[in-house]
Amino acid sequence: MIASTFTGRVWKFGDDINTDLVIPNFAVLMTLEEQLRHCFSANRPGWVDEVQPGDVIIAGRNFGVGSARNIGAVFHGLGISGVVADSFNGLGLRNCINSGLPSLPCPGVLDVFDEGEVADVDWTTGDVKNAATGATAHGTPIPQALQDIVTAGGVENVLRREGYLAPR
Amino acid sequence: MNAIEKILAGHSEQKEVRPGDVVMVNVDVTVQFDHGRPDVLRIANPDKLVLLHDHVVPAPTVQAANNAKRMREFVERFGIENYFPVGKHGISHVLVAAEGYALPGQILVNADSHTCSSGAMNCLARGMGPSEMLYILCKGQTWYLLGPTTKVVLEGELPERVYPRDVIHYIPGQYGDFAGRNLEWHGEGLANIDVDGRLTMATISAELSAEFSLFPYDDVLARYLEGRAKWPFEPAHPDDDAEYEQVITVDLASLEPQVVLPGKVAWNSKGAREISSEGIKIDQAFIGSCANGRVSDFAIAAEILAGRQIAPGTRMIVTPGSQDILKEAIKLGYVETLMDAGAVVTNSTCGACFGGHMGLLADDEVCITASTRNFQGRMGSPKASVFMGSPATVAASAVAGVITDPRDL
Ligand code: SF4
């Protein structure tokens, strides 16, 4: 079960963060464990060495634009506790939800944080707060049916539980 | 309801759907490429599952070979009949249209962002992620978050050397992206755009971040589907009182060839003539992909390259969208014309389009392409730049060695 809130250190990204930055072409056929090493290597070399489990990604418009590459699985694998973005690309959002990654569309969220500050987020109500400054923003939570997928830990967990996939 | 909403409602338990709804739907056709999961125990509709190899064909690495092997095992295990092995291969979006799997009024899913390509067939389709594909494979159902729809009305006819590819570059140049929104294509100008052109436009709609990009079922499409459709279908037409968030009207006759600059597509195109004055030297010219790897694209390139030579210092790669397309292009003499001009014609694969194999870019190189994406690093080195143009713009640029308006060659 994924909790309805998360708290973590903020990494800030701009608009149009695309799938090919998260999973570069040369990493497409690699295993997920290998792919984790290359996340954001083109735009933020060394980031994967600094990011810590529990950290939060705050981003601008059209987050996750691009291909079907499963960005949700990568962020999940890196231990990111959630993504709050001004807006999401449709497919990017699908992959985050289906991987069980709490995701919240929240216009203006970039103004609330400086990098490294701590975010308090309830992705089910849309409340976003800067723990240090007290500044807030309010997002539009994803619909309940989709929240349920995230809460269950993503679709593969659901399928495994229902006997469609072999146990791990 | 508009046509998109009618397809969604018709596949759900809802009588009516409206923007903001999450709609649970039954899927008609499921397409899966390049690998099969060994841990899948049960699947929903084996008869409506289409499996194929496309991204890196034939396998250039052991990893790709192992993935392909897992797909063949999957095909065997579930007795899948709609399977295109290497030798009958093609790019998924090209095959589902050409082979009549993408059908009007139906819902098709595929774990690839350019799945919206099938919108050209009046088929509701958008890119899906790998894990939700697994869900659909197993349960035959999925969800869509319905967004507002923009009605795009096309009027008139395109001038010479201006193509549907230029239309779909022009729109994001003028209106930006359509994230979370749908496009529905209307207008008498559509009668002048054939199915190949519509497939190009529907495919590139992914770069506009559109959810769905749906073309009407009209005479052009009906003729295309004759003798081709694999299953019976029921086309979707908008109601007379259908609602749209906005209406965009495009006068086709007034358009010019459009080039998209590197990095992104929204707010990033320029007229080819304007940019040709900058004398941007190119190292590679590419025609191929699910957007523009069809026989009609070979025809355009061959027409421009006939009796000409590709500029010294420039290389040109042309990759067909399927084995059948390559065969046809050979038969019609296009392959010979391209090779005489100095181009490389490859086997069908996604290949250079996503920097997979057969034509990657080196550091600091410049490419002009008629494939789908111009992201940093998309076609090779992250230090390379990728411009996009119609096949005619690409071919003309290959001859000139600099980005060139095909009307000026
Ligand atoms: S041709 Fe390019 S855009 Fe089309 S499916 Fe292949 S990689 Fe994706």
The predicted-structure confidence for B368-407, as pLDDT tens digits, reads as follows 999 999 998 999 999 999 999 999 999 999 999 999 999 9
Q: Which residues of A touch B93 (CB under 8 A)?
A: none
pLDDT band at B131 (very low <50, low <70, confident <90, very high): confident
Q: Which residues of B touch A86 (CB under 8 A)?
A: none
The pLDDT of residue B253 is above 90:
yes
Q: Which residues of A touch B31 (CB under 8 A)?
A: none
Instruction: Tell me the three state secondary structure of residue B285.
Output: strand
A28/B130 touch (CB, cutoff 8 Å), yes or no:
no
Q: What is the CA radius of gyration of chain B?
A: 20
Position in ligand 1 atom list of the atom nearest CA B354: 7
- What is the pLDDT at residue A30? 87
- pLDDT above 70 coverage of chain B, percent: 100
Q: How many angstroms separate the CA atoms of A8 and B112, rounded?
A: 32
Mean pLDDT of chain A: 94
Ligand 1 center to residue B70 CA distance, Å? Answer: 21
The pLDDT of residue B119 is above 90:
yes
- What is the pLDDT at residue B372? 98
Among the partner-chain residues B131, B177, B378, the one whose CB lies closest to the CB of A155 is B131
Query: Which one is predicted more confidently, A152 or A67?
Result: A152
Containing B138, the helix (H) or strand (E) segment is: helix B130-139
Average pLDDT over residues B101-115: 96
Are B317 and B284 in contact, with CB atoms under 8 Å apart? yes
A42/B377 touch (CB, cutoff 8 Å), yes or no:
yes
Instruction: Tell me the three state secondary structure of residue B388.
Output: strand
pLDDT band at A67 (very low <50, low <70, confident <90, very high): confident
Query: Which one is predicted more confidently, B48 or A167?
Result: B48
First to last CA, chain A: 18
CB atoms within 10 A of CB A98: 27
pLDDT band at B283 (very low <50, low <70, confident <90, very high): very high
Cα of A109 to nearest chain B Cα, Å: 18
Average pLDDT over residues B94-101: 98
Which of A49, A50, A45, A40 minimizes the C-alpha distance to A17?
A: A40
Residue type, A7: T
The predicted-structure confidence for B323-339, as pLDDT tens digits, reads as follows: 999 999 999 999 999 99
The pLDDT of residue B130 is above 90:
no
With residues binned 3-state (H G I as helix, E B as strand, rest as coil), the percentages for chain B, rounded to 5, are: 35, 20, 45
Q: How many angstroms separate the CA atoms of B242 and B237, rounded?
A: 10
- pLDDT above 90 coverage of chain B, percent: 94
Interface test with A, best of B113, B128, B143 (most A CBs within 10 A): B113
Among the partner-chain residues A72, A90, A142, the one whose CB lies closest to the CB of B180 is A90
Pocket around ligand 1: residues whose beta carbon is below 6 Å from it? B 55, 91, 112, 114, 289-290, 350, 353-354, 371-372
Q: How many angstroms separate the CA atoms of B368 and A48, rounded?
A: 32
**Number of continuous H segments (helices) and E segments (strands) in chain B:** 13, 18
Position in ligand 1 atom list of the atom nearest CA B321: 1
The predicted-structure confidence for B179-214, as pLDDT tens digits, reads as follows: 889 999 999 999 999 999 999 999 999 999 999 999
- What is the pLDDT at residue A168? 81
Containing B150, the helix (H) or strand (E) segment is: strand B149-155
Q: Where are the alpha helices (DSSP H) in B306-406?
A: 323-331, 334-340, 391-400
Surface of B (174-203) touching A: CB under 8 A: 177, 179-180
Predicted TM-score (pTM) of the model is: 0.91
Least confident of A27-36, B106-115, B248-257, B320-329: A27-36
Ligand 1 center to residue B353 CA distance, Å? Answer: 6
Which of B7, B144, B134 minimizes the C-alpha distance to A142?
A: B144
Q: What angle do CA B132, A108, A68 make, to 5 degrees?
A: 20
Nearest CA in chain A to B383: A42
Which of B162, B183, B197 minimizes the C-alpha distance to B247?
A: B183
- What is the pLDDT at residue A134? 97
What does DSSP say about strands B344-345 and B315-318: parallel, antiparallel, or unpaired? parallel
The pLDDT of residue B20 is above 90:
no
CB atoms within 10 A of CB A148: 11
Q: Which residues of B touch A156 (CB under 8 A)?
A: 131, 134
Q: How many angstroms separate the CA atoms of A117 and B374, rounded?
A: 34
Instruction: Tell me the three state secondary structure of residue B126.
Output: strand
Position in ligand 1 atom list of the atom nearest CA B113: 8
The pLDDT of residue A106 is above 90:
yes
Q: Where are the alpha helices (DSSP H) in chain A?
A: 19-22, 32-36, 47-50, 71-77, 90-98, 144-151, 155-161
What the block records as the tokens of B279 is 């004398």
What does DSSP say about strands B107-110 and B29-33: parallel, antiparallel, or unpaired? parallel
SS3 annotation, B242-281 = CCCCEEEEEEHHHCCCEEECCCCCCCCEEEHHHHHCCCCE
Interface test with B, best of A65, A97, A103, A161 (most B CBs within 10 A): A65
Q: Look up tokens 């992909």; give the residue.
A: B289
- What is the pLDDT at residue B118? 98
Instruction: Tell me the three state secondary structure of residue A160.
Output: helix
Q: Which residues of A touch B128 (CB under 8 A)?
A: 68, 91, 94
Are B140 and B236 in contact, with CB atoms under 8 Å apart? no
Q: How many angstroms separate the CA atoms of B395 and B334, rounded?
A: 13
Cα of A94 to nearest chain B Cα, Å: 7
Ligand 1 center to residue A116 CA distance, Å? Answer: 37
B113/A66 touch (CB, cutoff 8 Å), yes or no:
yes
Nearest CA in chain A to B130: A70
